[in-house]
Structure 1
Amino acid sequence: MSDKAYHSLLTSLPHIDSLFNSKITPISRYQLERRLSALTFDERKHLNMIEQLMHWDRTKDDADDAELIKFATRARSEVKSKVLRDLIDWRLDMRTVVAALRRKKAGEKAPSGPRWSFGTRYEFIRRNWNVPYFNLQFAFPWLPDVARYMEHDQSLEIEKALLEAVWDELDRISTKERFSFEAVVIYLLRWNLVFRWTTYNSEIAIKRFDQLVDNALGDFASDLPH
């Protein structure tokens, strides 16, 4: 696409102003997909690959690591933009360090495999397994907070801290990208973060409501019809 076409596409999309203050996404996924149809075939392909790597729910910790490593390697090799390759590396590093925190909290020893995860930090993490925060607290300023929340099983705080870290990284990149394919990618990733947070908020609200109902009903709950 030309710069003019990127300009037209991006100016047609509603502004995403905030993450945690958002109640709903500023545009539906259906409408967003319609706007993104203006991209070329290759751009859509690369956009989908990056979204799969970056999207919160598509890189779960129980995913097949070998398959994800293979997919990440292929995706990164196909993406020509250095900005986007660096973003992919950053997100995969983030996933790796969070997975390492969980392993360490569970009492596991340093991974023995030569390539036990993905991104650029897995070997560094293995060498620094017994060092606080794997000596990565300066590269990832959010890491001490996430480690503390993890120790106290504060899942909501972990979610917020990680979402905010990604949001801030996208903000940092967006100051250099205005009307380009990179800017389109950033918009979609921001949309995904808002969708994840608003969905997560709804899930929390439902769980809290169920708990309140159970607490209020007490022993009478068992007498209710199922």
Structure 2
Amino acid sequence: MAENAYYTLLTSLPHIDSLFNSKITPISRIQLDRRLAMLSTADRETLVKVEQLVHWSHLGEEVKEEYLINLAERLMQELGSPDLKELVNWRLDMRTIAAALRRKANGIQAPTTARWSYGSRYAYIRRNWSHPTLGLQNAFPWIPVAVECLNKKDYLTLEKTVMEAVWNKLNELGARHRFDFEAVVIYLLRWNLVARWTSYNGDEAVLRFNDLTRQALGEFAHQLPGSPD
């Protein structure tokens, strides 16, 4: 897709200024999808795959872990953008970390299988399961706050902490991209965060975090010592 086409698309989209101060999304999903139809077929297909991996709840609760692993591996081979590869890997690592912290908070030991999740850190996490922050607090500074929230069962603050970390990562990458495909992906992922936040309440935070944990581990959850049948 020509650069001027990305410019036309992105300048047609309303600015997303804030996450937690937003009351509604700046544009409806129907309207957003209509604008995204300006993309080439190849770009639209890539955008769908990135969104599926970053927001896997769109795939439904019955999604299999092996399917997600294979989807991630295929996408990594297809993506030509180093920044998008960085973003997807980072986001998948966050999902795996959140799942691991949740299991640790319930007193469950490390998984015994070699390939228990996806991302680039799952093997490291398994080796460092006994560490309070999985040994990843420098790479993911939000982890100590997440651990504290889990100990207090403060799931709303936990979700806000994770969402803020994602928002900041998107802002970091957004500073490198203005009118290209990466900028389109970043816009969509920002929109998803705002949509999630504006539909939120405290009770839903508990349910959502438990759902995300279950989906993150998928069929591998039953391979963890102490997991319910």
- What's the TM-score once normalised by structure 2's chain length? 0.85
Written as runs of structure 1 = structure 2, the 5 A alignment for 1:4-23 is 4-23=4-23
When structure 1 is superposed on structure 2, of 105-114 and 178-187 the one drifting more is 105-114
Deviation at 1:198, TM superposition (A): 0.3
Query: Which shows bigger deviation, 56-65 or 169-178?
Result: 56-65
Bigger Rg, structure 1 or 2 = 1
Shift in CA distance, 143/63, structure 1 to aligned 2, threshold 3 Å: farther
Conservation of the 8 A alpha-carbon contact between 1:105 and 1:151: yes
Equivalent residue, structure 1, for 2:132? 132
Kept in 1, the 8 Å contact 2:6–2:181? The answer is yes
The offset of 1:157, in angstroms, is 0.7
> In the alignment, is the contact (CA less than 8 A) between 1:116 and 1:122 conserved in 2?
yes
Q: Kindly state the Cα deviation for residue 201 of structure 1 after the two structures are TM-superposed.
A: 3.7
Tell me: CA distance 1:202–1:137, structure 2 relative to 1, closer, same or farther (3 Å): closer
Q: Deviations over 1:46-105 (max 9, x none)?
A: 000001111273488985222211221122222221111111100000001111111111
Show the counterpart of 1:84: 84
The C-alpha deviation readout for 1:135-164, integer Å capped at 9, x for no partner, is: 100100000001110111111111101111
Root-mean-square deviation (CA, aligned residues, Å) is 1.9
> Which residue identity lines up with residue 84 of structure 1 in the other structure?
L
**How far does the alpha carbon of each residue in 1:5-58 deviate from its partner, in whole angstroms, 9 at most, with x for none?**
111110110000000000000001111111100100010000000011112734
Counterpart mapping for 1:29-108 below 5 A? 29-55=29-55, 57-58=57-58, 63-108=63-108
Give SS of 1:103's match.
helix
Q: Which runs of 5+ in 1 are unaligned?
A: 205-226
Aligned-pair identity (%): 53
- Indicate the residue corresponding to 1:147 in structure 2: 147
Is 1:53–1:72's contact at 8 Å kept on the other side of the alignment? yes
Higher relative contact order (CA 8 A, sep 6+): 2
CA distance in 1, matches of 2:77, 2:161: 30
Q: How does 1:150-169 map to 2 (within 5 A)?
A: 150-169=150-169
Q: Is the 8 A contact 1:56 1:196 kept in 2?
A: no
Aligned to 2:178: 178
C-alpha distance in structure 1 between counterparts of 2:202 and 2:104, whole Å: 30
> SS of 1:133's equivalent?
coil
- What is the TM-score when the length of structure 1 is the normalising length? 0.86
SS at match of 1:132: coil
Question: Any unmatched runs of 5+ in structure 2?
Answer: 205-229
Aligned residue type for 1:104? K
Name the count of aligned residue pairs.
205
Rate the CA distance shift 1:12–1:42 in 2: closer, same or farther, 3 A.
Answer: same
Q: Assess if the C-alpha contact under 8 Å between 1:19 and 1:197 holds in 2.
A: yes
Distance 1:85 1:61, change over 3 A: farther
